[in-house]
Every structure is written in C-alpha cells, then in structure tokens.
Amino acid sequence: MHFETELVHSGRAIDPATGALVSPIHLSTTFERGVDGSYPHGYVYGRSGNPNRQMLETALAKLELGCDAAVFGSGSAATFTLLQALRAGDHVVAPQNVYFGIQEILAKILAPWGLQYTLVDTTDLAAVAAAIQANTRLILVETPSNPQLAVTDIQAVADLAHQANAYLACDSTIPSPVLQQPLEHGADFVIHATTKYLAGHSDVIGGAVITKDPNPLFDQLRLIQGVGGAIPSPFDCWLTLRGLSTLALRVQAQSQSALTLAQWLANHPAIDRVLYPGLADHPGHSIAQRQMTGGYGGVLSILVSGGQAAALAVTAKTQLFVRATSFGGPHSTLEHRASIEAPGSQTPVNLLRLSIGLEHPQDLMADLDQALRG
C-alpha cells in the first residue's frame, strides 16, 4: 500500500464489539487472567502493555519500515531509554549540537553512572571516525538537527558505526517518516519525539524508538520500558494514532510553506542568514536531496541582524507567529532558542527557530516582514 494509505490503516482494526471505525480507548490498568493462570488476551498490566499502545507501536514500526517499535512518555524519555539500555563503560558518539536536554542527560545523569560519550560535528565524517573508540557501542545523529538544521549523511555514518560493531540511531523528528526514512539509509534505530509532527496538534507529549531488526539493545530497551514505566497513557497513544491519519497532508503543506518562507527570508534585509536544508546554498543541501524525499521539513531558523536584542524584538512584534517552544503543530511558532537552552549552548544568540504551521504562507510572510522591519 502507498504511504498515505498506511497512515490511515496501520495499527487499526474495526472494533469487533461495536463495529466502530475509531478504536476505543482502553483505560484499564489491569486485565483478566484465564482460569489456568494464563493471559489469553495478551495483556497483564498497563505498564507492560496496553491495546492502544500496541496499535501505535505497530503503526510506527510499519511506517518506518522497521520490525518493532517502543513508545514512551516523551521524546527525551525515548532517547534516554535507548542510552540507558547501554552498559556502564560503553561509549557513545553524539552530535555536538544535539538537543540540549539530551546533553544534560549525558552529562548529568549517565556520565556519573559510567557511560562515556564524545560530542562531535556529525556532519564531519572524519571527526566522527576519529571519535570512535574500541568501546563505542552507539552513534547518535539528529538530521536535520534542532535548531541549526545541520544535515548528517546517514548512510556514511551508518557505515562507520557498523565497521566498529556499533549501532546507529537517527533522530528523525523534524522530517518525520513522510520525508525521511533512516532505516532505509543504514540506521539501526529511528527516534521520534511524537509530540511534534506525528501527533501534530500540540496536545500530547510522547516519544518512540523504532528498530530495523531484532537486536539485544532493543530487547534491553523494551525491558526498561516495561519495568521502568516511562510510558504514554492510553489516551496519549490514541491521540498520537489519530494524528498519524493526517500526517502526510500536514507535513507536505508545512514543508512547502517553509521552503517558500526560507527563499523569501534569504533575501530579507533584516536577516543575516537562513538555516534550511531546502536552500541551494545550505552546506548539507546535496545530502538532504539524496536522503529526504518530497521536501525538507517545516522547521527553519533565521539569524537576525543586530544580535540578541534584535532577535528578541522580533518575537515581541509577531501577531500570527506565537512565542512558544516545540514545533510540528498547526500553529506557527517562533522561539529564541539560546535563552531556553543550558549554559554552554552553541546556538547563536541571534537565532530564532520558526515552526511553520498550516496558515497561508503569504500571511506568515506579512507577519514576519512587519516584525523584522519594526
């Protein structure tokens, strides 16, 4: 079936009890055992399994062309659990501009526990190769990255990882499976903050890890999911599955609008630079053309002329763009990232991240123009 058809049907079935097209929400935390002590329905307790969670995991695995998926209470929890599935003494290579929350997990939680890590520019293959050690077990990439929209060559880094008997995990939140499927380019795991495009309505937090093949690291991740319980609620899973139905239409529209705005902003006198892989002068444009299909995503960042004060002044003047964190919802948002990130952030102080929603692009251009011109 075509991808759009899979979005509507994967993980779903007509409810056998009522004939409802939309699956019911199973709020029960516990499930009846058989008279022989078995679990005839396949569920024991809400922490270890739930029908709504299983439907979402089935759908995500199919959409990413993987064999299995595990969902979590947030995108950070998903990445955290994958890292936690490693052992003390293992080494991880991660992007130097990885989401600041993951940097805090590495530095403040997992490093004291015994995990070793090196942060590098993952767009520099020589730097990635130099960072790999004998105990490297996982390389983490994020492409395009948040918020600087750097593009990493997934297949090239996968080759380096596999030569070292390590796994490659790719955070593909910004493009979503509509525009990029990392498992097809050599990655072993795909990570999503389902909060963003997959759920798509800014009303539910979640995360997911999808694995290409059965492997011991995913087995350990699944154990931690069930025992630790950092899981989404049945309603969260239901909302995310609902969001998947319109994913292709939303992402394609947002991506096209983002390209339109990026091309316009690239010539705006109040902008020093636009960071968007769809622009021909982006350093990762040719790689993005090769590993992304149908567009370059709905997120772009701008470097405002005049420094931090000028950037913050723009956020105070927009009328359609909402000052808010996160991205991927129907509302267009903008955020001064450096002021929310941890000390030591490499995000430029004049950078504003824009999440392009479902408004008409001409209205968004008019709003940005009046804010940029003051």
Residue 295, both tokens: 């567009």
State residue 246 phi and psi, 5-degree precision.
Answer: -105, 10
Neighbours of 268 (CB within 10 A): 17
Asked if 149 and 97 count as a contact pair (C-beta separation under 8 A), the reply is no
Residue 86, both tokens: 């490693």
Asked if 330 and 200 count as a contact pair (C-beta separation under 8 A), the reply is yes
Burial class (CB in 10 A: 0-12, 13-18, 19+), 360: exposed
Asked if 84 and 224 count as a contact pair (C-beta separation under 8 A), the reply is yes
Residue 145, both tokens: 């990255």
Tokens 């767009």 belong to 123
Residue 82, both tokens: 């994958």
Tokens 């994020």 belong to 142
Angstrom distances, CA of residue 171 to CA of 36, 75, 145, 191, 272:
44, 10, 8, 4, 28
List, by residue number, the catalytic residues. Answer: 47, 99, 171, 196
Instruction: For residue 109, give the amino acid letter.
Output: I
Three-class SS state of 176: helix
Helix or strand (DSSP H, E) at 125: helix 125-131
Tokens 């991808």 belong to 3
Three-class SS state of 330: coil
Angstrom distances, CA of residue 168 to CA of 132, 279, 287, 310, 359:
12, 27, 18, 39, 36
Whole-angstrom Cα distance, residue 144 to residue 296?
A: 9
